[in-house]
Amino acid sequence: MKNVLKIAIVGPESTGKSTMSDYLAGHYHTIAVPEFSRSYCEQLTGECTFQDEINMFHGQLALEAELLPKANRILICDTTFITVKIWSEHVFGKAPQEVLDELPRHPYDFYLLLNIDLPWQDDPLRNFPNLREHFMAVWHKELNALNARYVVISGAGEERHDNAVKAINNFLAAD
């Protein structure tokens, strides 16, 4: 298979990850891997369980593997399974062991960490409007623990998109 660079769009709730992922996929004429947990959680009839988090981990990996061959040079990933680790630790006090085991074996080439400078958009699947700063700090911690190459993306609308494209172009030029 051709060498495809995986670029992950990550960050706290309501930072525009899905919008950014779709924009970047169009800009780079490639494909975006949607956030598996969104469609999964829309089907839940009760509270999310620890097993649901494990299911979302496996679903995200499977979706990424399915879409990777369709990518054109880069694969844009609307979040990653690191989200499962972050949410599980926050809600359940621990992360699934298979998630912890897979983290060092499943790297992404570059991350865009979307800043919390956008207004909160209410959504039935969003839970923590008052913890955005906390989760931003958690994302920094997680990415640093992985020695990940990442850039924080700020701004609104076209400025945010332009900042993301500039960061990716700089990454691609240096790679």
Q: Residue 1: what pLDDT?
A: 45
- The answer, yes or no, to whether residue 131 has pLDDT greater than 80, is no
Tell me the pLDDT of the chain averaged across its residues.
Answer: 90
Q: Residue 122: what pLDDT?
A: 63
DSSP assignment of 72-132 equals BSEEEEES-THHHHHHHHHHHSS--HHHHHHGGGS--SEEEEE-S-SPP---TT---TT-H
d(CA 13, CA 116): 8
Q: Residue 76: what pLDDT?
A: 98
Number of domains present in the structure of the chain:
1
Q: Which range marks the domain in which residue 100 is found? A: 5-174
CATH of the domain at 91: 3.40.50.300
Q: Residue 5: what pLDDT?
A: 96
Cα dihedral 167, 169, 173, 175 in deg (nearest 10): 60
d(CA 108, CA 149): 9
Residue pLDDT, tens place only, 39-54: 787 777 778 889 999 9
Contact in structure between 48 and 41 (CB atoms under 8 Å): yes
Residue pLDDT, tens place only, 55-69: 999 999 999 999 999
Residue pLDDT, tens place only, 11-37: 998 898 999 999 999 999 999 999 898
